Amino acid sequence: MAEYPSSTQDKYIIRMPDGLRDRIREKADANRRSMNAEIVALLEEHYPPQTPETVQEPAARILLWLARRIRRQDPKPGSARDRRAQLYETVASDIVTRADAIARSAKER
């Protein structure tokens, strides 16, 4: 998990089926981390971040490459450089999402 102040991180409330919270707590305890860290680790494992190598759209690849270069310099959370990297990642993700939607639409025709 990134080292950002919790006040700047996205928050999302979920409803869990009976018993799931207890199972997560058990795994979190076994892995010596909080329930939040356990859930984030599982989500990160199942939804890895996009990288220039995994993206086909050229514009998105360039933006992700630029974001990676910024992140290598370890910018302070919330700094202009950090926000620029976040913007590049967001725009790249939007490009990929829209390109996928266009491709699906073309297949349906």
Cα 68 from Cα 62, distance rounded (Å): 10
Cα–Cα distances in Å, from 5 out to 21, 25, 27, 76, 78? 24, 23, 24, 11, 9
pTM to 2 decimals? 0.57
Return the closest-CA partner of residue 54 out of 65, 41, 69, 66: 65
**3, pLDDT greater than 70:** no
Can you say how many angstroms the Cα of residue 49 is from the centroid of all Cα atoms in its chain? 5
Arithmetic mean of pLDDT, 61-78: 91
Q: What is the pLDDT of residue 69?
A: 94
Give the model confidence (pLDDT) of 12-45 as tens digits: 899 999 999 999 999 999 999 999 999 988 988 8
Q: Is 81 within 8 Å of 70 (Cβ atoms)?
A: yes
